């Protein structure tokens, strides 16, 4: 079964509504376009997108309740890894830039002294940790 079939089946069975179906289908098509623009084969990334949609459907059925404070959960399913696998094809390392790399050195120094570092981000999108990881792959 492919991603679109999974989504349509979920709509037909009442798990997602028409609006959710439309949003997820648009996300899928936009993702495929972006992968193609990066000269990557969508067929190689379809299994990750399928797994992502399975998790979206699971969350619609059984939403995770976030406490005011929570630790990263990497088992039994590693959502962070899923994010890396999902968004990796969208990153073009050669065209990506780190502005103010000296701040990274400052962060490393502060952490080495046992100090806390707080990174603020606009949570319009949730893959901030994954994109930070991708960008830091280039940092010494």
**28-78 pLDDT per residue, tens:** 999 999 999 999 999 999 999 999 999 999 999 999 888 888 788 899 989
Looking at the structure, tell me whether residues 53 and 26 fall in a common domain.
yes
More confident residue, 127 or 133: 133
Is residue 81 located within the same domain as residue 119? Answer: no
Q: What is the three-class DSSP state of 19?
A: helix
pLDDT surpasses 70 at 140: no
Q: Are 75 and 7 in the same domain?
A: yes
Q: Cis link prior to 76 (omega < 30° from 0)? A: yes
For the range 75-84, what are the long-range contacts, defined as Cβ-Cβ under 8 Å and sequence gap of 24 or more? 79/55, 80/129, 80/130, 82/48, 82/51, 82/52, 82/55, 83/126, 83/127, 83/129, 83/130, 84/130, 84/133, 84/134
Q: Which domain holds residue 121?
A: 96-139
pLDDT at 124: 61
Q: Are residues 103 and 54 in the same domain?
A: no
- Count how many domains the chain has: 2
């Amino acid at each position: 079964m492919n991603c679109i079939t999974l989504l349509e089946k979920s709509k037909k069975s009442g798990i997602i509504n028409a609006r959710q179906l439309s949003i997820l289908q648009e996300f899928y098509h936009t993702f495929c376009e972006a992968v193609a623009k990066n000269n990557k084969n969508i067929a190689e990334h379809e299994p990750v997108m399928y797994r992502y949609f399975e998790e979206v459907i699971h969350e619609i059925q059984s939403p995770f309740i976030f406490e005011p404070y929570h630790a990263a959960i990497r088992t039994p399913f590693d959502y962070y890894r899923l994010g890396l696998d999902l968004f990796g094809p969208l990153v073009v390392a050669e065209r990506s830039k780190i502005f103010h790399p000296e701040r990274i050195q400052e962060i490393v120094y502060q952490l080495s002294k046992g100090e806390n570092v707080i990174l603020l981000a606009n949570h319009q999108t949730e893959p901030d940790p994954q994109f930070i990881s991708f960008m830091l792959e280039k940092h010494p």
